[in-house]
A and B are shown apart, each in its own frame.
Chain A
Amino acid sequence: MLELRKVSTYYGNIQALHDIDLKVEEGEIITLIGANGAGKSTTLMSISGIVPPKRGEILFRGRPIHELSADRIVALGICQVPEGRHIFPDLTVAENLDMGAFLRRDRRGIARDLDYVYTLFPILRKRRNQPGGNLSGGEQQMLAISRALMARPRLLLLDEPSMGLAPLVTRQIFEIIRQINREQNTTIFLVEQNANLALKVADRGYVLETGRITIHDRAGALRANRDVQKAYLGI
């Protein structure tokens, strides 16, 4: 479904990604794990077109997208929940969700999806008229995921959904991620520092170190890998 071929991305003169090769198949959950500053978020930003790669190609369903602008990429069905959630602070919860469906014109479909996310996260329905900036961290994460779902993505990019959340909330969110993957058949690309948790929900995983992919394998195999265990799983 998504394929990165020798992608290299720069911030000014600093190279953040070195020849990344990566593949995501339809319907699976893959995860990218790595330390702080390894380039995980940059990978997602490159896919979304916010920081376009300088070299290499990104293909989505066989079509090159690395030269498209960010809004065109969203239109193709790639949605990102960025790190830090980026809720529009002055818009209400309902308006935030509405922004998620910015590119859609089918009112009925939007209403249906709104219902769907409200059933996923009932708390959002309760808070729908509050400004997004007033929500707690966990609620904001739920809102961010819901907002992305409102675009009916085929591929959902999740950047550090567990960051700054209590373990209980984190578990709940990961539960929902799996549920979305199952119910909506949404492909999920999960970037996570909490490798333990990520590898539990994912089908496959990649390990990123200082801008280079060092290992990739089935999630189970990765969890069994000694190096991965030592470096990322704290075993």
Chain B
Amino acid sequence: MDYFVELFFSGLTRGSIYALIALGYTMVYGIIGLINFAHGEIYMIGAFTALIVSTVLSIFGFPLPAIIILTALAAAIWASAYGYTVEKLAYRPLRNAPRLSPLISAIGMSMFLQNYVLLAQTPDFLPFPALIPDFDFMEPYAGFIGSSDMVILVTTTVIMILLTLLIKFTRTGKAMRATAQDRKMAMLVGINVDHVISVTFIIGSALAAIGGMLIASHIGQINFYIGFIAGIKAFTAAVLGGIGSIPGAVLGSFILGLTESFATGYVSSDYEDVFAFSLLVLILIFRPSGLLGKATIEKV
């Protein structure tokens, strides 16, 4: 039983990490129907910015709480700026192009950003300072769940709730939903669609950056390539839950995280990814639009 609980928490941690990244994918897909391949790279850039800022601040002697807050802010701001710029340079000019063009552009952007970080920083792994201390009150549970796992879970939950509220109740959220459902009509009721799309990229990128910072601190190291693998997994999670659906992305992420964790624990980690992808294929075959995705009825 203990073992089950341990695996369960390990799956939850994984799931919440995927969720933070998957949200960006799903929001962007929902609004412009694009698989934003460069999203994983934004996550990676967020982690790198966090590393640089936190190191500089700690060298300048800032106290830990200040470092955490400022680092999170800086990572979110810069990642958002990258997300915004990427959208403007690589996707906006292709708004009316055939479907595949923006996808190729995204793949190109992903390669570009990876190598940009590789050249500007380093190809090697860099140690990431543990921003989250080991809490004393967590000590009795340390065998099950670490302090940083706990922080990741809590942060993800809070962010999820905030995001849901934002989308449900604010003017921007409404504009996002309207744009996602019918872009032309959104324009006709006076929504500045370009603006909404930019905001979507900014929010998605900020979430990914927070995720990047949390995971980097949890795992303790980063390099330029972390975005690719995490990105593919998060994207799988988003599709699993029904891409375009925000609760779907969260659900898909947790299912994927738990599947991987239990597959490792009870079967073998050799085929961890095979399980993940097989699950995806199976679900899509039986529910072609993901778990919570809406089956689109093609109009004849």
Contact = CB atoms under 8 A, between A and B. Distances in A.
Given A91-B177, A100-B189, 12 more contacts: A70-B193, A71-B191, A71-B192, A74-B188, A74-B190, A80-B188, A82-B184, A89-B181, A91-B178, A99-B174, A99-B189, A102-B174
A151 interface: yes
B189 A102 contact: yes
Interface residues of B, number: 19
A19 interface: no
B256 to A, nearest CB: 25
Interface in B44-99: none
B182 interface: yes
A88 B188 contact: no
A139 interface: no
B191 A79 contact: no
A91 B174 CA distance: 9
Given A86-B182, A95-B174, A69 B192 contact: yes
Contact of A151 (B175, B181, B189, B193): B189
B174 to A, nearest CB: 7
B183 to A, nearest CB: 10
Interface string B219-263: 000000000000000000000000000000000000000000000
B296 to A, nearest CB: 10
Nearest to A90: B181
Interface string A140-152: 0000000100010
A127 to B, nearest CB: 18
Contacts of B294: 90
A70 B188 CA distance: 7
Contact of B178 (A49, A79, A99): A99
A88 B190 contact: no
Interface of B: 171, 174-175, 177-178, 181-182, 184-194, 294
Contacts of A71: 187, 190-193
Given A91-B178, A102-B174, A86 B190 contact: no
B185 A102 contact: no
Contacts of A99: 174, 178, 186, 189
Interface string A91-108: 100010011101100000
Nearest to B171: A102
A221 interface: no
Given A86-B182, A90-B177, A102 B188 contact: no
Contacts of A95: 174
A98 B187 contact: no
Interface in A59-78: 69-71, 74-75
Contacts of B171: 102
B174 A98 contact: yes
A48 interface: yes
A102 B190 contact: yes
Contacts of B186: 99
11 contacts: A48-B187, A50-B187, A70-B188, A71-B191, A74-B189, A82-B185, A82-B188, A88-B185, A90-B181, A91-B178, A99-B186
Contacts of A102: 171, 174-175, 178, 189-191
Interface in A21-61: 48-50
